Amino acid sequence: MNSGSNQQPVVDPSREAPTLIEVQIDGIIGPTHHFGGLGIGNVASLANQAKHSHPKAAALEGAAKMDQVASLGVPQFFLPPLVRPNWDFLIRCGWIDSKQRFDRSEQADALKRCADESPALLSAAYSSSYMWAANAGTFCPESDAMDGVSRLVLANLSSSLHRGMEAVERYLQFTDLFRGVETVQVCLPLPAVDPLRDEGAANHMRFAAPPSSKSPLGLHVFVHAATSVGNTFRSRQSSLASRTISKFMRLPLEQLIFAEQSPEAVDAGVFHNDVIATSNRNLFLYHEKSFLNADSLVQEICIKYESLFGTPLHLLRIDDAAIPLQEAVRTYLFNSQILSLPHGGMHMVCPVQCEQSTAARELIGNWIDDARNPILGVSYAHLSESMANGGGPACLRLRMDWPAGWLSPSAPPFHASYRWDERASQKIKEWIHRFYPDRLATDDFQRIDFADHVISAVRVFPLRG
């Protein structure tokens, strides 16, 4: 595996393009899952701030969703939870003297002082936001890059107090996941400065040919928002970050589009593109108020798509009259997980809120009944705890298109410790039942015995690389 470098692309026209297989990588929901209200522009997170959370139920809901996906034959992987509270973060913020970092009485005192004087900072140190793996980074398969190298650019997550600390930790995890693979490059995040704020694949869509085509190419759409997008919420993805990531990935211009979010959507709680628009291969599902100058953008996407693949893109445009912005945000219809099935066709994993919404449920039913639509079926996931923090099925996973060789039986088992199968599901659920609290209040964060417990729990996670 190569780590981040800025070497110039070397195009090899004779290289054989690989067959790609869609892979899902979910973040295991951690034992400190709570409602800190720290998500900028995330209306669910803000509305539920300081309410009691239920970490055990949350983690089991996430595990059940992975079971659903794996049962459909889609390769499912996971990322272990990160250690929280993050003592290094509290040290860097001045709450603990680095010389006394292992002094238990110093730690206990720091937790109590921080809870009294800076509760948001303590909430950030305990955050389980790494569960939303869609923000971990942006991936480009080798077939799309001019130099034939797959790249994962880790997100710096610099716009949020509680998320920026994840970047280096995720770099270490993905470096381990891809160990021994020479054709993938795990790239360190962009510098954590405001003009380069990046929140990963939640603001990126990759279109590809329909399953009947053998073309491995992808059309990449990077979505950002203006620096000042509206009257209420600030943008979390910058144009400069998106353009810089596209350069990292060595993408040719004919496979690249940049789009801007609608200010109205951002102010309605669309803090990431995947709350209001999504894609899967030759399918584009979007709300009419997703983008600035939406009609011209969609036309550009359709023209580039057809020029690449010789077939039209399948559009599912949802008008505001059918699903108003507020209902789209409440149900997270557009954050449904659209899966490519191994034998063709697609399947949607939707939040149960979509099933409970008459308008959303009828729309989904019409898509499935339409023989021209690639969506063949739907299942509903109960993700009440994640949804209460503004994270639906697609937020919990990072989707990648891997060369088939990475998953072949003859390939080195570089990913064996991260594969979700029956054994992993059973062991991880047993671990969750043993260590996770049923109920959690933010007042628990100032207790050193609670900190000791959750740190010990993560350190004995049953499956390690």
Question: Which are the catalytic amino acids?
Answer: 199, 272, 395
For residue 239 the two structure tokens come to 């144009």
Question: Do the strands 375-381 and 256-260 form a parallel or antiparallel pair, or are they unpaired?
Answer: unpaired
DSSP state of 461: -
Cα–Cα distance between 235 and 37 in angstroms, integer?
17
Please list the residues that pair with 150 across neighbouring strands: 184
> Is the separation of the CB atoms in 276 and 268 below 8 Å?
no
* Of 190, 121, 132, 122, nearest in space to 158 by CA: 190
Single-letter residue type at 107: Q
Cα–Cα distance between 124 and 51 in angstroms, integer?
16
Question: First CA to last CA across the chain, in angstroms?
Answer: 16
Rounded to 5, what percent of the chain is helix, strand, coil?
40, 20, 40
Q: Residues with Cβ < 8 Å from 369, sequence gap 6 or more?
A: none
> Is the separation of the CB atoms in 201 and 398 below 8 Å?
yes
Cα–Cα distance between 230 and 243 in angstroms, integer?
22
